[in-house]
Structure 1
C-alpha cells in the first residue's frame, strides 16, 4: 500500500525518541512470554494488557505507545466532543511511524473503537499497530488493512453507542495495564505487554539469552532426557550447557 504523503503534525512536546533499529531487532526476536518472565524477575507483574485477541496472530507488534482515552457515553458530552475532528480522528491522523495507538475503552465490548477507515489511516501513516481494550468493527476490512491489531473482539456498533472520544497523549489504563506515551508495546500470539523504556535493552538481551538456553534444553528433552534436573538446569546440566556439550 502506498504511504500517505500528507504532512503529520509535529510530535507533542516531550515525546520520547523512537526505538533504535538495534532494539527493535532484538524485540522482534524476543517472544512476549519471554519478556513477561524477565519483567517478572525484575518485580514487574502488572505489565500485561489482558483480554485481547490479535487479528493477525502471526504478526509481531512492536512500537512506542501513542495513547487515546474514551470516556463512557453521555449524550451532551458526545454532542460537544464526539463530532468533527475529535480526539479519536486526531490521533489516527497524527500517529507517526513506529508508534502503536493504544486505546483506553474501559474493557467495553458493546461498541467499536475503530473501523477500517481509521485502520487504513494508521497504516498509511506508518503506525506499528493498534491496541484497544474495546471492540473493532469492519473486522474483515481492518484485518485486510495489514496493520497488527489487538482488540477485545468484534462489534458492529459505532463508538457513539458506548463512548465519547475524550483526550490523547496521556497516561491511560488499557486491559488492566497502565500505559504512558512512549512506553514500548510488544505483542504476538501470546498477548500484549508494556515494557518500560528504561528497562527495554536489558530485558530484551536477557530474554534472548534465555531463549537460547531454553532451545538447548528443548533439544535435550527431545533426545529423551527427563526434565528433572534439566528444567531448570542443575549444576551438572548447567556445566554441560556452558561448555557447549550437546549430550
Structure 2
C-alpha cells in the first residue's frame, strides 16, 4: 500500500468505532475485539500502527540493560500506539507515569497494555490515553522485565505483529492485520452506514422489531 493510501485508510479508521471494526473483522473470519481493556485515563479514541513490547515475570540474568518500554518509545513514530503483552499474572504495573510523559513527547497516540498500569492520575493530567486491564500502584521493579520489543505479542487471544493497526475506545480494542486494513475499513464503514440508516428509520417511526429484524441479523452479509 502506498504511503498516501495508507494515511487515508488510517484517517478513515479513526472516524470509526471499535464495534463496527470488530464486526468487520468478524465478517472476514479474523479475531474480533479484545474485551476487558478499558480507558483508564483520557477517554479518547486512538487509532494507528503498533509498536510492540513483550514483558515476562522475574528479572533477567545479570540485570536489565534498559527500562521496560523505553526502546519502543524511541522506535515509535508520531501517531503510533505502543502495545504491551503483560499477561504473566504478576500483579504489578507494566507502564507508568514517566513512560507516559516520554511517549507523549515522542508523539505516541497512546498505549494498550494487556495487564495493569499505574500513575493513572498523572496520565489523566497529561491527557494521555492508557488502555489496560486494571490499575495498580505496584512497581514492575523485580517483578517483570522486558523480554523483547518489536516482536509478535499476544493480547487477549489475538496475536499482534509489529506494524499491525490498533483502534481503541470505550467499548473495546481491535487489532487489524496490516494486509487487511483497506478491506476492514471498507466493511466497517458500510456497517456504520447501515446502523446510521437503522437509527434514522427508528427516528422516523419504523417499529424497532421490524428495523432490527430486517437489517441487524444481515448486517455482516453481502460484502
TM interval, shorter chain, is 0.7 to 0.9
2: CA distance, partners of 1:19 / 1:56: 32
Distance in 1 (alpha carbons) for counterparts of 2:71 and 2:5: 23
Paired position in structure 1 for 2:20: 34
Q: How many residues align?
A: 214
Cα separation, 2, equivalents of 1:164 and 1:147: 23
Corresponding residue SS for 1:230: helix
Match of 2:63 among 80, 84, 92: 80
For 2:22 and 2:197, locate their aligned partners in 1 and report how far apart those are by CA, in whole Å. Answer: 20
User: How does the TM-score come out when normalised to structure 2?
Assistant: 0.86
How far apart in 1 are the matches of 2:151 and 2:3? 16
Structure 2 residues without counterparts, runs of 5 or longer: 216-223
Alpha carbons of structure 1 residues 61 and 18: separation in structure 2 relative to 1, 3 Å: farther
TM-score normalised by structure 1 residue count = 0.78
Q: Deviations over 1:80-125 (max 9, x none)?
A: 22xx524532222332212111001016361111111110101110
**Structure 2 Cα separation of the partners of residues 141 and 57 of structure 1:** 10
- 8 Å Cα contact 1:184/1:197 also seen in 2: yes
Post-superposition offset of 1:145: 2.0
Residue 171 of structure 1: CA displacement? 0.5
Task: State the distance in 2 between where 1:196 and 1:149 align.
Answer: 22
Q: Distance in 1 between matches of 2:5 and 2:96?
A: 27
2:76 is the alignment partner of 1:95: yes
Structure 1 spans left out of the alignment, 5+ residues: 1-15, 235-247
RMSD of aligned Cα (Å): 2.3
Output aligned runs, 1:158-177, within 5 Å.
158-177=139-158
For the 8 Å contact 2:43–2:129, the answer to whether it is kept is no
Answer yes or no: is 1:126 the counterpart of 2:113: no
The answer on 1:190 being equivalent to 2:175 is no
Is 1:69 the equivalent of 2:54? Answer: yes
